[in-house]
């Protein structure tokens, strides 16, 4: 009887896939404790492969990255599994806060979209996932630094203690020529609702939590849920979502199902408009406008509440993108009851297409009635240092910290490094 042997290169690819599946199953069985961070899988995979214009060309680095990228491309060709990997390191210091007044967190991500079904009858089916390993290398976390500063929200969106787990595992089915998209599983609703072109990615743009997503919205943690998006027209979509209000990404599958069946849900509905304003004026480019309504049942971490939120971004001349978010939740189920976020980002400063220069500001009324309104703003510059590596110096300024009556001003200075394939 003839024995069958795979070529060495294909054997290594299959071993990699087997290891990935084992890791995925292990993550579904059990995990460690902590909070989540926003990662839009498909958007990250797209942006990671955009043409780059690095400041420096370091040939050994380019050689290594080129061969690693070729490996992921070979895996995609062999299995239709699109893989992305990134390491994001954030250092932040608040000189006027009590000692220790700095935090240092490193997050390693593996994320992917596995295109398993492609049928004229059943459409396209994709398995998506995000596995994260986080380590905090400082005496305090980002959440603890925010509390010491007196800010009602996080100085970054990676403020939890360390953990290793799958934050997202979902199935997505596209039907009717991709007009109807259904997603179900362990999902992150912050990547689906109230998003913004220049103020949603905590790995690429702003660090302050209000400039990642509105704090008026009582988004659940990454538990079980589903979303349904329908495009009646290429420039208009309708979106509806339901998720476990007590969702917990640490839950084992059985715990997640039990929690979901308890009936405490987060509901969301959003309509989005993507107009072609170049017909109105050549000075206008890509624009997105989103109106969201939501309701949450009472959960372990908050009471019941409802709210509305608006998110808009519009590209102008010289690739300048003003943006804004408005949020209102009278019941105070979120961290703030009223919030306005606005700013402007240059998506190609100095004619550098992979750099970004941004200013953002927040005015908000925190939920605790004893606190005063909070105003804060942030500057950042993201530079493409070499292929696959971005650095972002960042500065946050908090005026009259709402949770720290002993000071009128706090500054949080930061630096982020993101390496990716």
- List pLDDT tens digits, range 134-178: 999 999 999 999 999 999 999 999 999 999 999 999 999 999 989
Q: Which of 393, 300, 381 is nearest to 347 (CA)?
A: 381
Q: How far from the centroid of its chain's Cα atoms is residue 330's Cα?
A: 26
Cα dist from 325 to 43, 202, 241, 334, whole Å:
20, 16, 20, 15
- List pLDDT tens digits, range 170-208: 999 999 989 999 999 999 999 999 999 999 999 999 999
* Strands annotated E in 95-206: 102-119, 123-136, 163-175, 180-186
Q: How far from the centroid of its chain's Cα atoms is residue 106's Cα?
A: 16
- 200 vs 15: CA distance, rounded Å: 35
Looking at residue 52, the DSSP 8-state letter turns out to be -
- Looking at residue 306, its pLDDT comes to 97
Cα dist from 257 to 31, 173, 248, whole Å:
16, 21, 11
- List pLDDT tens digits, range 268-287: 999 999 998 877 887 888 89
- Looking at residue 282, its pLDDT comes to 79
Q: How confident is the model at residue 17 (pLDDT cuts 50, 70, 90)?
A: very low
CB 176 within 8 A of CB 287: no
Which one is the CATH code of 8-420: 2.40.160.10, 3.90.1150.10, 3.90.230.10, 1.10.10.10? 2.40.160.10
Q: How confident is the model at residue 5 (pLDDT cuts 50, 70, 90)?
A: very low
Q: How far from the centroid of its chain's Cα atoms is residue 242's Cα?
A: 19
Buried b (16+ CB within 10 A) or exposed e, 81-118: bbbbbbebbbbbbbeebeeebbbbbbbbbbbbbbeeee
What average pLDDT does the chain have?
A: 89
* Strands annotated E in 137-219: 163-175, 180-186
- 186 vs 192: CA distance, rounded Å: 13
DSSP 3-state of 301: coil
Q: How confident is the model at residue 27 (pLDDT cuts 50, 70, 90)?
A: very low
Cα dist from 369 to 44, 147, 375, 406, whole Å:
39, 17, 16, 18
Q: What is the mean pLDDT of residues 311-321?
A: 94
Q: What is the mean pLDDT of residues 386-396?
A: 97
Number of residues in the chain: 421
Cα dist from 224 to 14, 84, 257, 321, 322, whole Å:
30, 23, 7, 34, 34
């Amino acid at each position: 009887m003839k024995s069958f042997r795979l070529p060495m290169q294909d054997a290594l690819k299959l071993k990699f896939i087997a290891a990935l599946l084992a890791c995925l199953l292990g993550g579904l069985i059990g995990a460690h404790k902590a909070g989540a961070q926003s990662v839009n899988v498909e958007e990250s995979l797209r942006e990671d492969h955009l043409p780059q214009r690095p400041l420096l060309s370091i040939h050994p680095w380019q050689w290594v990255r080129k061969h690693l990228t070729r490996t992921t491309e070979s895996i995609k060709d062999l299995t239709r599994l699109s893989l992305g990997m990134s390491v994001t390191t954030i250092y932040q210091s608040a000189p006027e806060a009590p000692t220790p007044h700095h935090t240092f967190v490193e997050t390693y991500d593996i994320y992917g979209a596995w295109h398993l079904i492609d049928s004229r009858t059943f459409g396209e089916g994709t398995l998506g996932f995000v596995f994260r390993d986080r380590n905090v290398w400082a005496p305090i976390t980002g959440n603890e630094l925010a509390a010491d500063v007196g800010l009602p929200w996080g100085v970054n969106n990676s403020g939890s203690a360390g953990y290793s787990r799958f934050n997202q595992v979902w199935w997505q089915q596209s039907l009717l020529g991709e007009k109807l998209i259904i997603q179900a599983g362990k999902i992150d609703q912050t990547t689906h609702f109230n998003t913004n072109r220049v103020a949603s990615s905590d790995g690429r743009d702003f660090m302050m939590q209000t400039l990642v997503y509105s704090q008026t919205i009582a988004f659940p943690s990454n538990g079980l849920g589903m979303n349904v998006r329908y495009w009646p027209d290429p420039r208009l979509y309708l979106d509806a979502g339901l998720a476990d209000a007590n969702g917990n990404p640490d839950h084992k599958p059985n715990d997640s199902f039990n929690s979901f069946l308890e009936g405490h849900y987060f509901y969301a509905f959003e309509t989005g408009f993507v107009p072609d304003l170049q017909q109105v004026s050549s000075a206008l480019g890509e624009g997105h406008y989103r109106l969201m309504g939501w309701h949450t049942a009472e959960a372990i971490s908050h009471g019941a509440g409802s709210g509305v939120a608006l998110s808009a971004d519009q590209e102008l001349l010289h690739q300048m993108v003003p943006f804004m978010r408005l949020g209102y939740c009278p019941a105070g189920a979120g961290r703030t009851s009223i919030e306005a976020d606005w700013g402007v980002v240059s998506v190609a400063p100095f004619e550098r297409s992979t750099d970004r220069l941004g200013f953002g500001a927040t005015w908000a009324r925190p939920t605790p009635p004893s606190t005063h309104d909070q105003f804060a703003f942030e500057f950042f510059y993201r530079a493409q240092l070499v292929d696959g590596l971005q650095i972002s110096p960042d500065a946050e300024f908090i005026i009259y910290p709402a949770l720290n009556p002993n000071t009128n001003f706090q500054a949080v200075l930061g630096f982020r490094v993101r390496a990716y394939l």
